[in-house]
Structure formats: C-alpha cells, structure tokens
Structure 1
Amino acid sequence: MTILKVCIEVKNSSFRYWLAAMRLRTLPLALASVLCGALLAKLQQQHDFAVTLLCCITAVVLQVFSNLANDFGDACHGADHADKQPRRMVASELIAKQTMRRALAAVAGLCCLSGIVLLARALPAIGSTGALVWLLWLGLGSAAVAAAFTYTAGARPYGYAGWGDLAVLVFFGWLGVLGSEYLQTGMLSGWSLLPATALGLWCSMVLNLNNMRDIEHDQAAGKMTVAVRLGLSGAKCYHLVSAVFAAGLWLIWLAHAFNGVAYACLNMIVVVLSGIHLYQVFHSCRSRSGLDKLLRRWSVSVLFWVVCLWLTAL
C-alpha cells in the first residue's frame, strides 16, 4: 500500500523533480564499484553475470535511496535553501517532506528486497549457505542502508561532522568492490584491497568536489565537511593527495594484474585521467558552476576507467 501511495504521489508531482532528486549523475559511481569487483572475479575466472547484474541493481537502488535521503536531510537541517544551485527538491518545496519520507520508506524496502534476492542467488553458488553467513551479509546490507540515510538525515547525521569521505571509501570502495568480488568467488585476495581502496578514493573525490562547490552553504548551516574544515585551498590539496595516492595504488595493482601492451596502455590512461582532472581542479574550475561540471565529468571518468579495465580483460 505504501509503494502504491508513493507511485500516485510521484505521478501527481512532476516526474522531472524526482529525477533531479535522484541525482542520476552519481549512479556511474555505484556501477563502477560493483563492476570493479566483478572484474576481480573475472580475472580469477569466476565471473557470474547474474550476480553482477543483481549487484548492479542493488547498488543503483541504494544510491538512489542515498540521494533522496540527502535531499531530504539537508533540507531538514538547513544546508539546502530554495535558491541553492543545483536546485534541491525538498528545500525548494517542489517535493513535500512527507512525500519524500514515504518515497524513502518505499525505496528502502526495494533496497532490502533487491539485496535479499542477490544473496539468495549468490551465496548458494559459492557454497555459503550457513545462517551466520546470511546474518553477516544482512548486517552489512542493513549498515549500508543506515549509512545512506544518516549521512545527512536523522538526529545526528555523520556527514555534518565530516565523516562522509570515510563512508564513501568504506561503502563504495571496500564493501562495494570486495563485496561484489566475494559474492562471485567466495574468497578475497589481498591484492584486491589495492583497486578497492583506489576506487573508493576516486569516489570520495566526487564527494569532495561536491563539498567544495557547496562550501559556503555548508559552513553557514554548520555542516563541517572536510572541505569546510580545510578551506577551499586546503580541500584542493586534500584532493591532490587523494588522487596521487589512488593513482599509485592503481599502478601497483596493474603491474600485478596485467602485462605487456595492456599494462602500458592502462598505465597511460590512469596518468592522463588523473593529470587532466587535477589540472581542471586547480586551473580551470574557479566557480561553483565549474566545480559542478567537473563533478559530473569525474563521475563518468571513474566508470570509464572500469570499462577500460573490462575491455582489456576480455
């Protein structure tokens, strides 16, 4: 009944407002995380297409839930205003708070359903059918949903204390990549921690771009992100360190996973992607709109990199 009621409310609202609240431009990060884990399984000759597809669906639904919760939470805590750009739906009163609450409940239900279907398909295939294994994975899934909501929503959102970057590293990097790999292989490799950490850092750089763009609004609302704590110039240096460290991890892992022409080409792509991005951060993006455009480009670049890895591994 709740899902039906939400569907009616969505229909009565302009659909484009819901698309804006879902922030579709962040979805490449969710896909990149899962596909990177699937690539690690592929390199071990244990790739499972059905599990990868279910992982992608679960990750995308969870990302949509996170984005809706972010729109709702920032409006409740005053970080978003009606005149803020890009426009926020709840703060602009284009979507009512009560309607967004119902939508969040419905999408959270979809997250749980998708996650259970994923586990029901993946765990028996890797020989993990024990109750403790199920409880562990259900706990991890619940933690992901809770983290997506409490980033900006709830009584004490951790995003307002500056822990958002670490959460992205954990959930997009370690849990997203390593979880996707484990659900297809039934094991984890120590080498896998390198690409998982590198991808998590690249995803946290998207959040840092977002926080640099919103630094004035966040500071006024008491949202103490890393960018607010460091200031704009400090946040750019933090961005540089994250990019260089991530590139170093990629290069070390590439030397282990690939060789010959493939290794040389992938090395070049990492260096070029990182170099162009950092040049744009320090020299080309001097306004909020410039940072917003760069956020979209880097999000797509992360997915592009994972696609390049896949094409090389085929």
Structure 2
Amino acid sequence: MKKWLSAFRLRTLPLALSSIGMGSFLAAAVGQFNWSIFALCALTTIFLQILSNLANDYGDTVNGADSEHREGPQRAVQSGEISLGAMKAAMAIFIVLCLISGISLLYISFGLNMQAFLFFFGLGILAILAAIAYTAGRKPYGYMGLGDLSVLTFFGLVGVMGSYYLYTNSISLDLILPAISCGLFSVAVLNVNNIRDIESDKKAGKFSIPVRIGREAAVRYHVALILLGVLASCIYCFINYHSWYQFAFIVVLPLFSVNIKAVKNKTSAKELDPYLKQMALSTLIFILFFGFGQLL
C-alpha cells in the first residue's frame, strides 16, 4: 500500500481541489452551493488527478524521462516497485472510478437535461484523455511543451467555470478572471516541476517550456505566472466590488514570494523539490482567502 500511496502523489491533491474550491466559493457567493455536488466534484477531481499521476509515472518510464539521469524523486515504475502491467491495471480502475463519480455528479446537477449532461460528459472524457496523454501514448503532448496549456485549461477554465455551472446552471464571462488566476497558479506548480527536471528532460527529449527557453527565462516566466494570477483576481474583485474583504487573498503574497525566491536561487533538484508542494499549498490557501472574501 505504501508504494501505491507514493505513486498516487498525494501532495498534488490540494492543487487539484483548488479549481473546484474556487468554483464552489463563487457559486456559494450567489447562494447556489450544494454539498452533494461539492462532494462529487471533489471526488471526481481526486480520481482524475490520481489517474494523471499514475499515467505520468507509466508514461515517463516508457518514454525515458524517468531514468537513471532523473534528479527528482524516484518513481514507482522506474524503480521497479510497481510493474508496467500493474500500473496499467490501476489506470484502468481509476478511469472507471472517474466515470462512475462523474456520471453521478452530472445526474445530480442536471437530472434529465440531456444537452447539458452530454456536453459535460464530453468534457469529462476530454479530461480523462488529457490526464493519460500528457506523458503516455505514442505522442505525449507533455513532451512537446503543451502541458502548460492543458493545465491552464483544465485546472483553470474548465475546473472553475465548469464547477460553477454544475451548481448554478449558468455562467458569467467575468468568471474567466478567477479561472485564469487559478489556472496560472497551477501552471506555476508544473513550472517548478519542469525547472527541477530540466536536465533529465533534455536527455529524454521532453521539451517542456523550461527546456525550450532555458532556466533563466523559465524563472522570469514563473514570476509572470504568479503576478498575472494575482492581477486577474484583483481585477475580478474590482469589477464585482462590495467589500474590502474581497482582497483578503493579498495576505498570501509572501508565500508566493518565498516560492519565487526558491525557484530563482535553488538550483539543485533536491533543494527545489519541496517547493512544488509549497506552491500547491499556497494556491489552495489563496483560493480559501479569495473564497471567504467573496462570502463576507
């Protein structure tokens, strides 16, 4: 069980729940929160994140990114703790769990409204395919530097605006701002990971953004992701201003500053690795302060 829990990468789950949390807070702010929807949203998101982590473990081993040259934490398939066959079986189990949880969620949200049901079911299938195809398959898009765009889409736009719609059956264009904010912070977590693995990714032919632009430019990119994320939330609060409490998320800026400083100054993979979790937790704390600010 310990090896499987390690393969699940539980430290990534707070980030996965951030977009659901953002959408849920926004829905609660207009009086449309539902605990059943929240529970199934969270469960489906957790299953998707674990599926993505397992597929990443499997794909990076098959495609060579997880090799003896890798400087980050050793992965389950790479180390031989879990066989390729067992990992594929686990992926299949989590695909089924995603479908069961997701279909239950859509039924509670939409009932017999088949148009909305089928649209979101299609989004769910795309999310499953995106989770798998990031590093697994013949042409994994993560190896082409498209992981950032996928994270922005699914951890930002789809996660926030989609979960909001599940509660309210409506949407507002200004929600794109907090969605982008959440998405950019999630991309920043991926960017820390890719900066950490830049040398091993080069050798494996994995052309992430940091591999393409170099470490120095990747640090500037990291700063831009965080600053633009904060700016997007500030603009949303100015547009929908009703209380200065809405800007409570400003107290999280020192945590982001710590992360930026670490990415800039810590050059070894071992030193930088803890700041993936730190950035993920900082994002979740940001969402909590943002959300409570909307409710007060």
In 2, Cα distance between the equivalents of 1:297 and 1:113? 32
In structure 2, the gaps of 5 or more residues are none
TM-fit CA distance, 1:276: 3.0
In 2, Cα distance between the equivalents of 1:237 and 1:62? 30
In 2, Cα distance between the equivalents of 1:304 and 1:264? 13
SS in 2 for 1:91: helix
Residues 1:220 and 2:203 are matched in the alignment: yes
TM-fit CA distance, 1:264: 4.6
- Cα deviation, 1:187-211, whole Å, max 9, x if unaligned, reads 1111110000010000011001000
What amino acid is the match of 1:81?
S
Show the counterpart of 1:138. Answer: 121
In 1, Cα distance between the equivalents of 2:65 and 2:247? 45
Aligned Cα root-mean-square deviation (Å): 1.5
Contact 1:51 1:183 in 2 (8 A): yes
In 2, Cα distance between the equivalents of 1:264 and 1:182? 24
TM-fit CA distance, 1:277: 2.5
Residues 1:58 and 2:44 are matched in the alignment: yes
In 1, Cα distance between the equivalents of 2:246 and 2:121? 38
* Alignment partner of 1:300 out of 281, 293, 296: 281
What amino acid is the match of 1:289?
K
The percent identity for this pair of structures is 39
Residues 1:231 and 2:214 are matched in the alignment: yes
In 2, Cα distance between the equivalents of 1:243 and 1:306? 13
Show the counterpart of 1:177. Answer: 160
Contact 1:82 1:88 in 2 (8 A): no
TM-fit CA distance, 1:82: 4.9
Residues 1:245 and 2:231 are matched in the alignment: no
With the length of structure 2 as denominator, give the TM-score of the two structures: 0.95
Show the counterpart of 1:28. Answer: 14
Q: Between 257-266 and 196-205, report the one with greater CA deviation.
A: 257-266
Show the counterpart of 2:73. Answer: 86
Give the number of equivalent residue pairs.
294
Show the counterpart of 2:94. Answer: 107
What amino acid is the match of 1:247?
V
Contact 1:71 1:90 in 2 (8 A): yes
What amino acid is the match of 2:16?
A
Q: Between 247-256 and 185-194, report the one with greater CA deviation.
A: 247-256
Contact 2:23 2:159 in 1 (8 A): yes
Show the counterpart of 1:198. Answer: 181
In 2, Cα distance between the equivalents of 1:239 and 1:273? 14
For residues 131 and 40 of structure 1, do their structure 2 counterparts lie closer, same or farther at Cα, with a shift above 3 Å needed? same
- Cα deviation, 1:36-84, whole Å, max 9, x if unaligned, reads 0001101111111110111000000100000000000000001002574
* Alignment partner of 2:132 out of 149, 164, 171: 149
Show the counterpart of 1:97. Answer: 84
